[in-house]
Chain A
Amino acid sequence: MSAVTTQAAPTPGASGPASGPPDGGSALRHMMSGNGMVTVLAIVLSLVISAVLIILTNEDVMEAAGYFFARPQDTLVAAWEAVAAAYAALFRGAVFNYRAEDVTGMVYPFMESLTLSTPLIIISLGIAISFRSGLFNIGGQGQMIFGAMFATFFGVHLQLPVGLHLLLVLVMGILGGALWGSIVGVLKAATGAHEVILTIMLNYVAVNLVAYLLQTPVLQREGSTNPVSEFLEPTAVFPPLLGDSFRLNWGFVVAILATVFAWWLIRRSTTGFQLRAVGANPAAARTAGVSVKRMYVVAMVISGGLAGLAGMSQVSGTEKVLNTDVAGSFGFDAITVALLGRSNPVGVFFAGLLFGALRAGGVTMQTETGVPIDIVLIIQSLIVLFIAAPPLVRTIFRLPRPGALQARTTADPVTQPALAGAAAATTTSAGGTAPAAESAVVGDAVGVAAGDAVSPADPESPAGAGAPAGAPRDTPDAGPPPGGRPTASPTQPTTGEEGEQR
């Protein structure tokens, strides 16, 4: 009794999408839709927009614009000249000074960029590690101050042999930051307090504590009325790396070592595996026997330790004294850098270099062309803005959506960090209490973490990443495309971190 009428039943693999080896076109599409491309384009876009600002604030341009309709070319020439001069100065100040007379003068800017990027790279690595662990550590500033205070104390008050002294100061810097970070980790683990609140508040404590200690004999320079410490002993500072003509010192080597360490920690160590698991899905990590609370403490100790090392590299490297402004805006720039580097140590290293170069070049730009150094800040901010909103960049440049490559786009939080992140940041783990702008940053940075809450769901689950509340997300009711198992899959998503690691 066959009541069943069969229609042409598709043979497996015959239906569904074509799955073959990637041809040239799809390889290109793959690259274009990746995060690397978005990062590059975000930088380009922010340079373009900043150029507009440079033009709008340039007096020559404004003057020429006064008779725009009589001689429009004047305005255009002036605009071009303003932008070209500014960016050329930026380049000369950051990378290569082709106007200098000797080699030293030519490469000096680049060495200066490396010098300025050293603490930034180190602290950003710390922030990146906290992001990977699902923690939004915005206490880099306080942790850096603590590292600098510890380093200064032991660098000023102790007399030790060369080498040993520097090593001790370095260790103390790490300890100082780790101590300050661990408070956050312990409080979060024990009481569930939110790390964003804790770190913000502890920043204030650290800032005011260093200001206070710099007015007591503990740190204040003898006979001085200013809040500034003694110079560190010569045995406690980083020696120059390439001779006395440059400020570049061995701190940069430490930054490289820190990058290698962070990479190893995240990608290879069992601790990093646990940290990433906790960051991406604490419930699953706990079920698999990972102590989530312990990992919160570990993450904050490592993150704070690196921030402390950054503080130490600042006082033992370029500054050689401690003042109240030792951490400057590093704590917050580090968030930006970690974000730009997509919390991937190698990416963070290069993002740190870029920001160091912008800092170095900005000075030259201001002195030579009168374009305020603040434009550098705008460039930095715009980069982050665009990074945080990949769909915006993709729309502007008409890039293919990653979804065009991978059927189940929203199931992958890494290729769609902003979507997943924005939803999660406002609703779940990351930054419910943080100001809106920060929440967006949280979402993206910890996209790996925050996104997870909504990512790996069943295809039929309506809880969706970035979907309007209650509406099933735009995910097909289906598993991965059927078909063979091609060795190189055209649907494999490009993810900043994972891509690098394979």
Chain B
Amino acid sequence: MKLELRGITKKFGAFTANDSIDLTVESGQVHSLLGENGAGKSTLMNVLFGLYEPTAGEILVDGTPVRFSGPGEAMAAGIGMVHQHFMLIPVFTVAENVALGDEHTRAAGVLDLEATRRRIREISDRFGFHVDPDARVEDLPVGVQQRVEIIKALVRDARVLILDEPTAVLTPQETDELLDIIRQLRDSGTAVVFISHKLREVKAISTQITVLRRGRVVGTADPGADQSELAALMVGRDVVLNRQKSAPTLGEETFTVSGLTVLSPDGVRLVDDVSFGIRQGEVLAVAGVQGNGQTELTEAIMGLHKAQGSIRLDGEELLGRTTRQVIRAGVGYVPEDRSTDGLVGPFTVAENLVLNRYDRPPAGNGLQLDPKAIRRLAEQRVQEFDIRTQGVDLPVGTLSGGNQQKVVMARELVDDLKLFIASQPTRGVDVGSIEFLHDRIIRERDSGTPVMIVSTELDEVLDLADRIAVMYHGRIIGIVPGDTSRDDLGLMMAGIDPAASPQDPTPKGATA
């Protein structure tokens, strides 16, 4: 099967998301679409999958022009898509999820899942997926859920499989397994479109690479291309990868957490007796797969979660204080999900920049705001952090992800911080902005602030950390130096301490 996109253009009002893009995907190939956030990758794939109608251009399957008015037609034509955010119903079993939308019924409309189960086992055995058709999806680890998505596509005889940022949610090991699966699919004749902004993976898996920027194809490359070359193409300028940061100048250990435990409402130990300290001028990175207690750990420090134990900053106990008091104590906090916790979308950029400082000079006093001062402050921060907006009066929700993140960082990185905590500081942020944000974090460290970074991206952890604490199932598996190898960290993230005796390695319930 050969799938061709010719001159695909997609406009949203005056904005051109895709500008006459040509792309050819053939069976037995893995074609990677590389580009920053907002480059138009997802839009293009949504056009291909029948979710958007292209403004111009045509789609050809085996040389015949086709038009998809919805995902159903695209699937019927043999195109399957695994979205970045899974489209699964958590309380359904694997078989039920796979059958959904393509149900077979027996007499009197009774659902016939047996056929679906059989196909799942068949596919699962062929590719070594190890998926139980009767397991409930919510009980499965993220990596397995992703396989269910792939099975969903394969059951519908997808001959072109689109994977949209498939590794964003996976551990390094799971990523390797996924790449293996993709290779098998490729060898069995499936055409794979692999969308990512992670250069390493793209290089590892692709047979062909197409780079998108600002809605256009800016270049093609083969997998042998140099990483920095690809990055430059993607961003439009040279990018420093793997910066060499200076050695830390360590001061006193002013921030300590000891015996911190956070319970879920039903008594599960989300954070389990965690202790660590951070010295002035040091970056401690908390690594781990999403959902192993990192979120609750930071939220407990910020007073957003009830907890037991002790959190001390400059000798003062923070535990039991309100969030406002913690912020007033000099803690800057970048939450992991900027659109939910970090920003008020309909508020202007200026308002968001004073979201936790509106009642203190110069933004205002206890009674009322000073709009002029807020504006001035905002314009200054926008310039300092190079936030690309057409005005500080625009709703922050209209900014791109990277610029939204810069707004949060600009708000939190204020003068005389006593502690800086950033969760996923560069999630969904393009390469160019990552460079900038990492610089700012290191600069904060060098000004003598203890810095705590929580990240699920190993690249980021290794770039920033002076020490790395790995969390697994609410516990800190170990705290290791910043130059620990990727493999060791990967093992620790799976719950195995390479230094200690091997533990039970079955990853379970990593979906929390």
Report chain B residues within 8 Å CB of A285. Answer: 344, 355
Question: Which B residues from 53 to 89 make CB contacts under 8 A with A?
Answer: 71, 83-85, 87
Asked if A433 is at the interface (CB within 8 A of a chain B CB), the reply is no
Which residues of B have CB within 8 Å of A414?
346, 395
Nearest chain B CB to A81's CB is how many angstroms away?
46
Tell me if A477 and B394 are in contact (CB < 8 A): no
28 residue pairs of the A-B complex, CB under 8 angstroms, read A2-B226, A3-B226, A9-B219, A16-B215, A276-B344, A280-B344, A280-B346, A284-B340, A284-B355, A287-B304, A287-B333, A403-B13, A409-B12, A411-B397, A414-B395, A452-B345, A471-B71, A472-B83, A476-B12, A478-B17, A478-B40, A478-B214, A480-B399, A480-B400, A481-B14, A485-B389, A486-B390, A489-B391
Provide the B401-417 mask, 1 if CB < 8 A to any CB of A, else 0. 11110000000000000
In the assembly, what is the distance between CA of A456 and CA of B348, in Å? 11
Asked whether A452 and B346 contact (CB < 8 A) given A15-B215, A287-B323, A287-B333, the answer is yes
Residues of A contacting B343 with CB < 8 Å?
Answer: 281, 284, 456
The interface bits of chain B over 317-329 (1 if a CB of A lies within 8 angstroms of the residue's CB, else 0) are 0000011111110
Contact of A474 with B52 in the complex, beta carbons under 8 Å: yes
Residues A408 and B344 in contact in the complex (CB < 8 Å), given A287-B304, A476-B43, A485-B391: no
Asked if B396 is at the interface of the complex by the 8 Å CB criterion, the answer is yes
Supposing A16-B215, A477-B42, A478-B38 touch, asked if A288 and B339 sit within 8 A by C-beta, the answer is: no
- Are B219 and A7 neighbours in the complex by a CB distance under 8 Å? yes
Please encode chain B, from 332 to 344, with 1 for each CB lying within 8 Å of some chain A CB and 0 for all others. Answer: 0101000111111
Contact of A3 among B42, B52, B222 (CB under 8 A): B222
- Please, what's the 1-or-0 string for A232-254, where 1 marks a CB less than 8 Å from any CB in chain B? 00000000000000000000000
Contact between chains at A412 and B397 (CB < 8 Å): yes
Proximity string of chain A (411-435) to chain B, C-beta cutoff 8 Å, 1 when within and 0 when not: 1111000000000000000000000
Q: How far is the CB of A115 from chain B (nearest CB, A)?
A: 33
Q: Is B388 an interface residue (CB 8 A)?
A: yes
Q: Is the CB of B344 within 8 A of A17?
A: no
Given A3-B224, A404-B13, residue A281 in contact with residue B340 (CB < 8 A) = yes
Main secondary structure of the interface of A (DSSP, over half): loop
Whether the pair A16, B368 counts as a contact (CB closer than 8 A) is: no
Within 8 A of B (CB), among A388-415: 401, 403-409, 411-414
B236 proximal to A (CB < 8 A)? yes
B217 touches A7 (CB 8 A): yes
Is the CB–CB distance between A289 and B324 below 8 Å? yes
Across the interface, do A458 and B52 meet the contact criterion of CB distance under 8 Å?
no
What are the residues of chain A within 8 A of B87 when measuring CB–CB? 470
Q: Tell me if A368 is interfacial: C-beta within 8 Å of chain B.
A: no
Known contacts A269-B369, A412-B398; decide if A476 and B83 are in contact (CB<8 Å). Answer: no
- Contact call B398/A458, Cβ cutoff below 8 A: no
Which residues in chain A, 247-298, are within 8 Å of chain B measured between CB atoms?
Answer: 264, 268-270, 273-274, 276-277, 280-281, 283-291
Chain B 200-232 interface mask (CB, 8 Å, partner A; 1/0): 000000000000011111111110111001100
B13 touches A498 (CB 8 A): no
Stretch with Cβ within 8 A of B (4 or more), from A44-52, A106-114, A459-467: A459-467
* Chain B residues near A163 (CB-CB < 8 A): none
How near does chain B come to A217, taking the closest CB pair, in angstroms? 43
Q: A34 interface residue, CB < 8 Å from B?
A: no
In the complex, which residues 287-343 of chain B have their Cβ closer than 8 Å to any Cβ of chain A? 302, 304, 322-328, 333, 335, 339-343
A478 closest partner in B (C-beta) = B38
Establish whether residues A283 and B340, one from each chain, have CB atoms under 8 Å apart when the complex forms: yes
Q: Kindly identify which residue among A264, A289, A291, A471 contacts B327, using a CB–CB cutoff of 8 Å.
A: A289
Give the top 3 A-B pairs by smallest Cβ distance, nearest first.
Answer: A479-B400, A456-B345, A407-B15
List residues of chain A with CB under 8 Å of any chain B CB. Answer: 1-7, 9-10, 12, 15-18, 264, 268-270, 273-274, 276-277, 280-281, 283-291, 401, 403-409, 411-414, 448, 451-452, 455-463, 470-472, 474-482, 485-486, 489, 491-493, 495, 498, 502
B423: min CB distance to chain A, Å: 11
Is the pair B335, A287 in contact by a Cβ cutoff of 8 Å? Answer: yes
Report the Cα distance A460→B402, complex, angstroms. Answer: 12
A290 to B340, CA, bound (A): 15
Supposing A283-B341, A485-B390, A489-B391 touch, asked if A406 and B43 sit within 8 A by C-beta, the answer is: no
B10 at the interface (CB under 8 A from A): yes
- Is B162 engaged at the interface, CB distance under 8 Å to the other chain? no
Say how far B321's CB is from chain A's closest CB, in angstroms: 10
- Say yes or no: B390 contacts A491, CB within 8 Å: yes
Q: Which of B102-110, B359-367, B455-463 contacts A (4 or more CB under 8 A)?
A: B359-367
Given A281-B344, A413-B345: A492 and B394 interface contact (C-beta under 8 Å)? yes
Known: A480-B398, A481-B14, A491-B390. 18 other contacts (CB 8 A): A4-B229, A4-B230, A5-B219, A6-B219, A7-B217, A7-B218, A7-B219, A15-B16, A16-B215, A268-B371, A276-B344, A451-B346, A476-B10, A476-B43, A477-B38, A479-B38, A485-B390, A492-B394
Are A284 and B341 touching (Cβ within 8 A)? yes
Determine if B96 is an interface residue (Cβ-Cβ < 8 Å).
no
B420 interfacial contact with A, CB 8 Å: no
B92 within 8 A of A: no
Give Cα A408–Cα B367 distance, bound, in whole angstroms. 35
Residue of A nearest to B428 (CB): A458
Number of A-B residue pairs having CB atoms within 8 Å of each other in the complex: 266
Q: Which residues of B contact A448 (CB under 8 A)?
A: 346
Tell me which residues across on chain B come within 8 A of A462, comparing CB atoms: 83-85
Residues in A whose Cβ lies below 8 Å from that of B390:
480, 485-486, 489, 491-492
User: Would A408 and B369 count as touching, CB distance under 8 A?
Assistant: no
Cβ of B334 to closest chain A Cβ, rounded Å: 10
- B interface list, Cβ under 8 A from A: 10, 12-17, 19, 37-44, 46, 51-52, 71, 83-85, 87, 165, 213-222, 224-226, 229-230, 233, 236, 302, 304, 322-328, 333, 335, 339-348, 351, 355-356, 358-359, 364-369, 371, 388-391, 393-404, 428
Q: Which residue of A lies closest to B356 (CB)?
A: A288
Instruction: Tell me whether A5 and B322 are in contact in the complex, defined as CB-CB below 8 angstroms, given that A403-B13, A479-B388, A498-B348 are known contacts.
Output: no
- Nearest-neighbour CB distance to chain A for B119, whole angstroms, equals 22
Q: How close is B240's CB to chain A, nearest CB, in angstroms?
A: 18
Q: How far is B216's CA from A269's CA once the two chains are assembled, in angstroms?
A: 46
Closest to A448 in B: B346
Q: Are B233 and A4 in contact (CB under 8 A)?
A: yes
The distance from the CB of A294 to the nearest CB of chain B, in whole angstroms, is 10
- A471: which B residues are within 8 A, CB to CB? 51, 71
Judging by beta carbons under 8 Å apart, are B38 and A411 in contact? no
Q: Does the CB pair B15–A478 fall under 8 Å? A: yes
Q: Contacts of A5 on B, CB cut-off 8 Å?
A: 219-221
| Closest B residue, CB atoms, query A274 | B358
What is the CA–CA distance of A172 and B74 in the complex, to the nearest angstrom?
66
Given contact pairs A280-B347, A460-B42, A480-B390, A404 touches B14 in the complex (Cβ within 8 A): yes
- Nearest chain B CB to A1 CB, angstrom units: 7
Q: Using Cβ atoms and an 8 Å threshold, which residues of chain B touch A491? A: 14, 390
Q: What residue of chain B has the Cβ atom nearest to residue A457's Cβ?
A: B339
Q: By the criterion CB–CB under 8 Å, are A277 and B344 in contact?
A: yes
A267 to B188, CA, bound (A): 62
Residue of A nearest to B393 (CB): A502
- Answer whether A477 and B344 are a contact pair too, CB < 8 Å, given A460-B37, A492-B391: no
Tell me, in angstroms, the Cα distance from A407 to B356 when the chains sit together: 30
How far is A274 from B437 in the complex, measured between Cα atoms in Å? Answer: 28
In the complex, which residue of chain A has the Cβ closest to the Cβ of B401? A458
CB neighbours (8 Å) of B10 from chain A are: 476
**Are B12 and A475 neighbours in the complex by a CB distance under 8 Å?**
yes
Are A478 and B218 in contact (CB-based, < 8 A)? no
A460 touches B40 (CB 8 A): no
Q: Which chain B residues border A270 with CB–CB below 8 Å? A: 358-359, 364-369
A452–B344 CB distance below 8 A: yes
Contacts of A404 in B (CB 8 A): 13-14
Contact assessment for B236 and A477 in the assembled complex, using a CB-CB cutoff below 8 Å: no
CB-based contact B224/A273 at 8 Å: no
Residues in B with CB closer than 8 Å to A481 are: 14-15
Report the nearest B residue to A415, measured CB to CB: B395
Distance, CA A414 to CA B348, complexed state (A): 12
